[in-house]
Amino acid sequence: MIRAEHDTLAHNYHPLPVVVARAEGVWVEDVEGRRYLDLLAGYSALNFGHRHPGLIAAAHRQLDTLTLTSRAFHNDRLAGFAEGLAALTGLEMTLPMNTGAEAVESAVKIARKWAYEVKGVAPGEATIVVADGNFHGRTTTIVSFSTDESARAGFGPFTPGFRVVPYNDLAALEAALDDTTAAVLVEPIQGEAGVLIPDDGYLAGVREATRRAGCLFIADEIQSGLGRTGTTLAVDHESVRPDLLLLGKALGGGIVPVSAVVGRRDVMSVLRPGEHGSTFGGNPLAAAVGSAVVDLLATGEFQRRATELGEVLREGLTALLGRGVTGFRARGLWAGVDIEPSVGTGREISERLMAEGVLVKDTHGSTIRIAPPLTVTADELRGALGSLEKVLG
Ligand SMILES: *Cc1c(COP(=O)(O)O)cnc(C)c1O
């Protein structure tokens, strides 16, 4: 089965050799009936677990009523979704899209148009400042400002108009801002880079610097947002409000791709009819699932769980320091764990964990990322940490 896939699927991934057939909550089951605890959670697309009953019920209800209209017509689910996002985030307007990359692309377009129409940047001169080590998706424009050679090599020519500065370096960021700057686009925590958490004050500093420079602050919370770090958004840790907020992954409840740009009314209003769009963006099924996700987050239960279980995760990882783990970074229920290279590569550790019934994903050689569904129990998490201890030993 795995071999058949290898012959007919593009080889743009190197999956672990497990063929998943079923899943519920934090557990997935392979074609042979073996069970695994899912510590990746679809890169945080499964924050509420696999097939969360409330989300599945919302999807079923919508499947039986109305699934797609296109934006040529109104549908009766979309306005409620946008209102829910506004209430959840403290921002005003939503542009619904599908994938994370589309939300990023949309924000780039909005920021550029805002720069020309509102800030008065000369035509064709707008720049967007981004951070070293970023991950914002895979389109040609987005890989144009990636610093990961494997994401870029062979895909040029690239889109101009981006300036890359070191992450977590406010002085370098401020030095890159000028009259051409439309926006600063950063991840509040860099997930793909290995869960890199900037110093306290960095996000508030970005907010202040962008305000002073008269440009927009775009926070890509596609992976860090929606409960993962113990707050609704990772920027909440510094009580910062960006001008544009990018959401995706968990917004689709692990069921359908749903992404959004949520932002200030005066900024979002640069888009007028006919200037941007998406056939599937804001479809009734996506809006129904997205609204159900917003309702789950409005209870605060998942943010609370991420905080509490994050302590269990932190304790477990602290105990492994010097015993195969050289360091880790964690916030909420999210950690990047650096493995002592002599013990094994991230990939090897992932394969050994798989044999123990635990699924994780390596990133950047010797780092593994731990991001279980926020529905995991403390005992399940301790069990997985025990498996990690075993495969490191
Ligand atoms: C996953 C991710 C994206 C891209 O989302 P896709 O749905 O895969 O296009 C963008 N930004 C961040 C921070 C991500 O983690």
DSSP letter for each residue of 232-281: SSGGGGGT---SEEEE-GGGGTTTS--EEEEE-HHHHTT--TTSS--SST
Q: Is 291 left (phi over 0), alpha (psi -120 to 50) or beta?
A: alpha
Question: Which DSSP state fits 137?
Answer: -
> Mean pLDDT across the chain, nearest whole number?
97
Q: Which of 145, 162, 249, 302 is catalytic?
A: 249
How far, in Å, are 19, 205, 291, 359, 379 from residue 51 at the CA level? 18, 39, 16, 18, 21
Q: Is residue 228 within 8 Å of 306, Cβ to Cβ?
A: yes
Among 5-19, 120-134, 349-363, name the one with the lowest average pLDDT.
5-19
Half-sphere exposure of 42 (CA within 13 A, CB side): 26
Q: Which atom of ligand 1 is nearest to the CA of 142?
A: 10
| Ligand 1 centroid from CA 191, angstroms | 10
Q: Which of 38, 220, 236, 243 is catalytic?
A: 220
Residue-level pLDDT at 4: 61
Tokens coding 261: 């740009």
Return the CATH class of domain 53-298: alpha beta
Mean predicted confidence (pLDDT) in 310-322: 98
Residue-level pLDDT at 364: 82
| Ligand 1 centroid from CA 135, angstroms | 7
Q: Write the single-letter amino acid at 37.
A: L
Spatial distance between the Cα atoms of 224 and 337, rounded to a whole number of angstroms: 17
Return the number of other C-beta atoms located less than 10 Å from residue 115's C-beta. 26
Domain boundaries, the chain: 2-52+302-392, 53-298
Ligand 1 neighbours, Cβ below 6 Å, are 43, 99-101, 104, 135-137, 187, 191, 220, 222-223, 248-249
Rg of the Cα atoms in the chain? 21
pLDDT tens sequence across 207-259:
999 999 999 999 999 999 999 999 999 999 999 999 999 999 999 999 999 99
For residue 284, give every residue at least 6 positions away whose Cβ sits within 8 Å of its Cβ, in sequence order, or none. Answer: 62, 65, 66, 67, 68, 69, 75, 76, 77, 78
Spatial distance between the Cα atoms of 205 and 213, rounded to a whole number of angstroms: 12
Nearest CA to ligand 1 atom 11: 136
Torsions phi, psi of 339, nearest 5?
-95, 135
- 220 tagged catalytic: yes
Residue 365's pLDDT band (cuts 50, 70, 90): confident
Given a cut of 60, whether residue 1 has pLDDT beyond it is no
Q: Which atom of ligand 1 is nearest to the CA of 221?
A: 13
| Ligand 1 centroid from CA 343, angstroms | 30
pLDDT tens sequence across 335-355:
999 999 999 999 999 999 999
Q: Which atom of ligand 1 is nearest to the CA of 224?
A: 13
Q: Which of 48, 113, 119, 135 is catalytic?
A: 135
pLDDT tens sequence across 152-166:
999 999 999 999 999
Over pLDDT 70: what percentage of the chain?
Answer: 99
| Ligand 1 centroid from CA 8, angstroms | 25
Say what the pTM is: 0.98
SS3 content of the chain, % helix, strand, coil (to 5): 40, 20, 40
One of 3.75.10.10, 3.90.1150.10, 3.40.50.970, 3.30.1330.40 is the CATH number of 2-52+302-392, namely 3.90.1150.10
Spatial distance between the Cα atoms of 73 and 78, rounded to a whole number of angstroms: 11
Which residue, among 231, 186, 255, has the nearest Cα to 334 in the 3D structure? 231
pLDDT tens sequence across 71-117:
999 999 999 999 999 999 999 999 999 999 999 999 999 999 999 99
